[in-house]
């Protein structure tokens, strides 16, 4: 999608009807909304969501769309800690039939299957990659180039793990669950040794994590044009 398409998408405001929510783990919640027939996106993109049912100081937040377009729902997943922000408190107050608004989805974090791809997720940063891999699982015909997901979580909670393990049955998909930065860099080195500048590198997680991995890749000869990033802000 080009810049003009992204601008038109971000200007268009939709209202999504809430269906349900559930816990993925102790502090991770998923929220499911109805998908309008004409709403589409590339797996891996994010939307800009706004609270409608009450007035709060910061009613708008970006979130990756964790669902694939083929699932016909809009799913967003977020960390909700013991002391959540006003926005997340408002999300927990949603009941079926209530609505939030969304602009987008937009963003460059999607695959075109022209190159081997390395997906690097830190914690909740796995959400756009769940969308990408789910889309591959649901759309028949397979993929031509290998995809490797490096999923780092120092707490070893690994949300979506059962789903991801099913997706990894596709011979073109490999998933490594990691719990340390050293192991992450070892696996990155393994991929870059095999594919070097022919690979596409997608990184999603906290700003510190995304910046660190991006610097590491550039320091190992990966061109900036081969690196796609999605920084997750505001975990409260």
Residues spanned by the domain of 219: 117-231
Instruction: Read off the pLDDT band of 196 (50, 70, 90).
Output: confident
Tell whether the model's pLDDT for residue 3 goes beyond 90: no
Beta carbons of 106 and 45 less than 8 angstroms apart: yes
Predicted local distance difference test score (pLDDT) of residue 232 = 81
Cβ-count burial 62-85 (b if 16+ within 10 Å, e if not) = bbbbbbbbebebbbbbbbbeeebb
Tell whether the model's pLDDT for residue 186 goes beyond 90: yes
CB burial of residue 141 (10 Å; 0-12, 13-18, 19+)? exposed
Any domain includes 111: no
Same structural domain, 25 and 47: yes
Instruction: Read off the pLDDT of each residue in 1-11 and give the average, rounded to a whole number.
Output: 58
d(CA 79, CA 7): 28
Instruction: Read off the pLDDT band of 142 (50, 70, 90).
Output: low
pLDDT in tens, 16-72: 999 999 999 889 999 999 998 889 899 999 999 999 999 999 999 999 999 999 999
Predicted local distance difference test score (pLDDT) of residue 113 = 76
Same structural domain, 58 and 143: no
Provide the CATH number for the domain around residue 153: 3.40.50.80
- Which residue in this structure is represented by tokens 């708008």? 60
Any domain includes 29: yes
Predicted local distance difference test score (pLDDT) of residue 218 = 94
Same structural domain, 220 and 123: yes
> Could you tell me whether strands 60-64 and 13-23 are parallel, antiparallel, or unpaired per DSSP bridges?
unpaired
Beta carbons of 77 and 144 less than 8 angstroms apart: no
Any domain includes 160: yes
Mean pLDDT score across all residues of the chain: 91
Any domain includes 43: yes
Backbone φ and ψ for 31, nearest 5 degrees, come out as -125, 130
Tell whether the model's pLDDT for residue 140 goes beyond 70: no
d(CA 181, CA 97): 42
Nearest to 104 by CA among 2, 235, 195, 14: 14
pLDDT in tens, 60-116: 999 999 999 999 999 999 999 889 999 999 999 999 999 999 998 998 898 877 889
* CA–CA distances in Å: residue 214 to residues 89, 100, 127, 154, 208: 33, 34, 19, 19, 10
Predicted local distance difference test score (pLDDT) of residue 72 = 92
Predicted local distance difference test score (pLDDT) of residue 8 = 64
Instruction: Read off the pLDDT of each residue in 113-120 and give the average, rounded to a whole number.
Output: 90
Among 86, 106, 126, the domain boundary falls at 106
Any domain includes 236: no
Tell whether the model's pLDDT for residue 5 goes beyond 60: no
Continuous segment of H or E residues that includes residue 163 = helix 161-167
Same structural domain, 121 and 101: no
Same structural domain, 93 and 164: no
Predicted local distance difference test score (pLDDT) of residue 12 = 80
């Amino acid at each position: 999608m080009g810049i003009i398409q992204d601008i038109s998408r971000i200007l268009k405001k939709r209202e999504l009807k809430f269906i349900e929510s559930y816990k993925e783990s102790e502090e991770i919640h998923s929220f499911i909304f109805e998908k309008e027939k004409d709403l589409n996106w590339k797996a891996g993109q994010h939307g800009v969501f706004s609270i409608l049912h009450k007035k709060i100081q910061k009613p708008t937040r970006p979130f990756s769309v964790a669902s694939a377009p083929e699932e016909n729902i809009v799913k967003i997943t977020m960390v909700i800690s013991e002391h959540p922000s006003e926005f997340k408190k408002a999300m927990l107050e949603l009941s079926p039939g209530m609505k939030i608004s969304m602009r987008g989805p937009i963003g460059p974090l999607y695959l075109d299957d022209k190159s081997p791809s390395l997906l690097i997720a830190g914690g909740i940063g796995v959400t756009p990659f769940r969308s990408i891999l789910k889309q591959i699982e649901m759309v028949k015909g397979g993929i031509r180039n290998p995809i490797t997901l490096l999923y780092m979580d120092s707490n070893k909670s690994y949300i979506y793990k059962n789903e991801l393990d099913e997706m990894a049955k596709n011979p073109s998909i490999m998933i490594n669950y990691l719990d340390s930065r050293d192991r992450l860099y070892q696996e990155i080195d393994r991929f870059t040794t095999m594919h070097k500048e022919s690979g596409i590198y997608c990184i999603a997680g906290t700003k510190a994590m995304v910046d660190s991995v991006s610097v590491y890749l550039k320091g190992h000869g990966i061109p900036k044009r081969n690196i796609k990033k999605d920084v997750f802000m505001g975990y409260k």
